[in-house]
Structure 1
Amino acid sequence: MGYIRQYYNTIIAIMSTNRRVFIRNTGLAAVAAGLGAMVPLELLAGIKKAVSPNDKIGIGVIGLKGMGWSDLSSMLKIPETQCVAVCDIDDSILQQRLADLAKLSPMKPAVYKDYRKLLQNKDVDVVIVGTPDHWHCLQMIDACAAGKDVYCEKPLANSIFEVQLMVKAAARYNRMVQAGQWQRSQRHFKDAIAYAQSGKLGRISSTKTWMYRGGSTALPVVPNSPVPAGVDYNMWLGPTKKRPFNKNRFHYEFRWFWDYAGGLMTDWGVHLIDIVLMGMKAEAPKSVMATGGKFVFPDDARETPDLQTTLYDFGSFQMSWEHNLATGVGLYNMQHGIAFIGENGTLLLNRGGWEVRPEKNKIEAVPWTKSVDNGLNLHTANFIDVVKSRKKADLHCPVEAAATVAIASHMGNIAVRTGQKIYWDQAKNQFNTPAATQLVKPVYQNGWKLPAI
């Protein structure tokens, strides 16, 4: 650890000379992204203390249990940042995270159960939206309207229409908005995409994406029950249908119910399909068809398919998506992944690394190249750098890119829910069938209204 401590001392010495210039020009976010995984917490705390209060970026986080906490923990590795406000509808989660934060910083953040009050806090510069999907649209737009920059978890929202509103809101309020698709910040994904676009694979007419989530178990059907103490359940439901409390629909398991999310198609699909769209420079598909349902656990509590295959036609190429809760042995013997299948060979890619397998020795093989960096740390660092620079073009996953892949993923779910081959009319913002078009725009309830942008 000697070299790390020496590096830390060098940072402090330079910052002591001119803190503001150092922060603006070198980007301590990048320093934290590179060292955050191995620098002791006391050293990171020391670096934070050396940053002038005038240079601090105040973070407020909405939704603290899962990725909201992961995003905050990553962002707090950046010396300029400090957590000034937290919000969650569950007192037990709030108390747990306040205890966790106390280990990182002596500063006590303001605590809220209503996100709208957090947005009124003038010390909050940046908002992390880590809530279930059905809340993303309202909270992101309200944060932008309040003058905050936003780091929003994926998928961007729970419907096509909400996604489109969020793009308009970011532009209207001129805010920096990054989606949590952190694979875009990893070196090996960038290298693989560059190879796919190099022409070495020849014509790419087929691409594949998949997630085989082996180890899953049935979600047993359980009766409704009283709302747990300390939980503001009405706020958790927000604009969705009023229902009695059921633990199967709460916290992590929300992702298996259409009111709140889109199952594996939007949970993992946005990550993997995103890489195909980048590699192929594609946007909306011409048509989508899908098959799927409750085949693995037919009698469990989930609504979303546990087995699904979706086929996209982009005109010049096609893409398939597969997910399966029964096995962890997926295509090409990879649990999850992306395949660019060209005339000369196939590029295979996942979070672990990438390789190229030649077709009849037409090109040289590229051996498996492992991932060596921390995508989440790099992604949050990129966001904070852009918050400072105001250069939106530097965002690794701006709201427009997140919208494109979220829309494609929702199209896959709409195709499987309607059982129809669907065609998208971009000019009319609708599908070719009423049943599919009906699923484009959600109906907000309980007094909540879709924002007017």
Structure 2
Amino acid sequence: MFDRRMMIKGAGAAVGLAMTAKSYARIQGANDRLRVAVVGINGRGQAHMSAFTKVPNVEVTHLVDVDAAVLAKRADEFAGRGNARPRTERDYRRLLAGKDVDIITVATPDFSHAKIGVDAMNAGKHVYLEKPIGIAPAEGEALIAAQKRTGRVLQVGNQQRSSKETRQLLDMVRSGELGEVYEAQTWYANNRKSIGKGQVAAPPPTLDWDLWQGPRPRGQYRTNLVHYNWHWFWKYGTGEICNNAMHELDIARWMMGVAYPRTVSARGARNFFQGDDWEMYDTLALDLNYDDDRVIRWNGQSCNAMRTYGRGRGVLLLGTKGSAVVDRNGFELYDLAGKMVREVKAPAESETTGTVGEGALDVYHAGNFVDVIRGKQQALASPIQEGHVSTTLCHLGNMAYRTDAMLSVDPATGRPSSADAMKLWSVEYEPGWEIRA
């Protein structure tokens, strides 16, 4: 049980979740039709709804959202596409005690991801959890502890790990085709607009404001906060780095075979719309420095959509024998003279910089998750241990930015030596909403 200042020790950079076929067979209902409840359906949850309807012998039976207007709209849309009309619910906790849901997918705001995920596993449900996995690193540690104790299957929603093309490139990197990969450059570019100046007001009648806040200490409703702009407020959001960099940082460190760095530095600023309520940077340069002078870099541009290598997001791998550029839709190989020598494109495209992010990779990722539940595959594409490392890299970037310091990091645990940074390792909770792993 965790108090309001949750701290969990001993969760390191473990490798992927693996279980024996016999242990899969013991999962209750493994061979039955799996019933899915999608929690949080205004944005990314729409991709969950679509993906799980395309997985064999799986049915989306419940939609959950704290906004009644959103809930009614999505239920109508879902039924209008020929699906059985789902049951609707405002509070996810009402689904936990029943036996009519096997899987809970979580696409709510970042600050409630870990709470819902832990609660669902404690109730015996399998969980598909959007990134970032939590608002602070301690929440990732809680998820690892809960998954280990309950034995439930927990897939993190960084869907590019299910890309056949990305995995093909991974095999090539591991076989030495690029030589020693000494640097990865990653980026994200968008042209987000001003969020303006909000006002304290009564919440809309369709929105359960108390329930929307979930585990965060209670505050007043503001007119420019819901449904998306909470991303840019420190109380509720995790910035562009957790919102988007987690995808590319995850692929970069996967390709390079690294986990936590030794030092982290970040330079950021609010360069656009400086008079609005946006609390965070809109521009951030991150450096993660590893042993042997290896480095992963991220360049985040929230309000300047200048593309790199023709892409709004992606990863450049620099090696001693060649280089590669990879994103969700394929990769390109280059020789040391910078000449492209090979191009591989995905047969079906996935969205890159939109807020829903829907595409073929969602179906592959959901399919892998379901196959592990049923025992048809042994390894998750993105187990919680791996998702925790990649999410923590993003949190460390925020810590370096907020403390205005280069952080020295324990490469075994990801914990910074800075006392100021460690104050951000965990968060306080609204009484009654503590996480119990």
Normalising TM by the smaller chain, what interval?
A: 0.7 to 0.9
Distance 1:328 1:427, change over 3 A: closer
Contact 1:306–1:324 (CA under 8 A) maintained in structure 2:
yes
| Equivalent residue number for residue 358 of structure 1 | 335
Q: Paired residue for 1:298?
A: 274
Deviations 1:375-420 (A, max 9, x none): 11111111111121175x4211111111110011111111111111
| The one of 414, 417, 421 aligned to 1:432 | 417
2:346 to 357, 371, 374: 371
Q: CA deviation at 1:99?
A: 0.7
Aligned-pair distance for 1:68? 1.4
The separation in 1 between residues aligned to 2:232 and 2:164, in whole angstroms, is 32
Q: Give the conservation status (yes or no) of the 8 Å contact 1:85–1:118.
A: no
* One-letter code aligned to 1:371: A
Give the unaligned 5+ runs of structure 1. 1-23, 25-53
Residue 233 of structure 2 aligns with which residue?
A: 257
* Counterpart-to-counterpart distance in 1, 2:275 and 2:406: 27
Q: Report the equivalent of 2:80.
A: 103
* Structure of higher RCO (CA pairs closer than 8 Å, 6+ residues apart): 2
129, 145, 170: which one aligns with 1:152 = 129
Offset at residue 71 of structure 1 (A): 0.6
Matches within 5 A, 1:7-406: 55-104=32-81, 107-213=84-190, 215-316=191-292, 317-360=294-337, 365-373=340-348, 374-389=360-375, 393-406=378-391
Select the structure of larger CA radius of gyration: 1
Alignment-derived partner of residue 7 in structure 1: none
Q: Which of the pair is proportionally richer in helix?
A: 1
How far the C-alpha of 1:343 sits from its partner, in A, is 1.9
Cα gap change, 1:255/1:178 in structure 2, threshold over 3 Å: closer, same or farther? same
Superposition deviation, residue 426 in structure 1: 5.9
Distance in 1 between residues matched to 2:90 and 2:80, nearest whole Å: 22
Over 3 Å counting, the alpha-carbon distance change for 1:69 and 1:287 in structure 2 is same
Tell whether the 8 Å contact from 2:262 to 2:411 is kept in structure 1 after alignment. Answer: no
Distance 1:390 1:439, change over 3 A: farther
- Report how far residue 278 of structure 1 moved: 0.8
Q: TM (normalized to structure 1)?
A: 0.83
Cα offset for 1:340? 0.9
1:61 shift after superposition: 1.6
Give, as a single letter, the amino acid of the residue that structure 2 aligns with 1:83: V
- CA distance in 1: counterparts of 2:124 and 2:312, whole angstroms: 41
Q: Is the 8 A contact 2:260 2:413 kept in 1?
A: no
- Counterpart-to-counterpart distance in 2, 1:427 and 1:352: 33
Distance verdict in 2 for CA 1:329–1:107, change over 3 Å? closer
Rate the CA distance shift 1:108–1:428 in 2: closer, same or farther, 3 A.
Answer: closer
Aligned to 2:6: none
Change (3 A) 1:247 1:197: farther
Query: Over residues 63-82 of structure 1, what are the superposed CA-to-partner deviations in whole Å (9 max), with x where a residue is unaligned?
Result: 11111121122101223112
Q: Is the 8 A contact 2:253 2:296 kept in 1?
A: no
Counterparts of 1:413 and 1:336, CA distance in 2: 19
Shift, 1:196, TM fit = 2.2
Deviation string for 1:182-215 (max 9, x for gaps)? 11111211122222222122222211111121x3
Structure 1 residues 55 and 430: alpha-carbon distance in aligned structure 2, compared to 1, 3 A threshold: closer
SS of structure 1 residue aligned to 2:265: strand
Question: Contact between 2:260 and 2:412, CA under 8 Å: does it hold in 1?
Answer: no
Counterparts of 2:128 and 2:221, CA distance in 1: 29
RMSD: 2.0
Is the partner of 1:348 in helix, strand or coil?
Answer: strand
Aligned mate of 1:420, from 388, 391, 405: 405
The 1:331–1:104 alpha-carbon spacing in structure 2 relative to 1, beyond 3 Å, is: closer
Return the offset for 1:137: 0.8
SS at match of 1:207: strand
The superposition leaves residues 77-120 of structure 1 with CA deviations (integer Å, 9 ceiling, x where unpaired) of: 22311222222110001101121232245644332211111112
Amino acid at match of 2:170: I
Percent identity at matched positions? 28
Report what 1:11 is aligned to: none
TM-score (norm 2): 0.86
Give the count of matched residue pairs: 396
Relative distance call for 1:413 and 1:106 in structure 2 (3 A) is: closer
For 1:212 and 1:83, the matched residues in 2 are separated by 33
Q: Distance in 2 between matches of 1:288 and 1:315?
A: 13
Does the CA contact (< 8 Å) of 2:407 and 2:416 recur in 1?
A: yes
- Structure 2 counterpart of 1:375, which letter? L
The code of the aligned residue for 2:341 comes to V
Residue 230 of structure 1 deviates from its aligned partner by 1.7
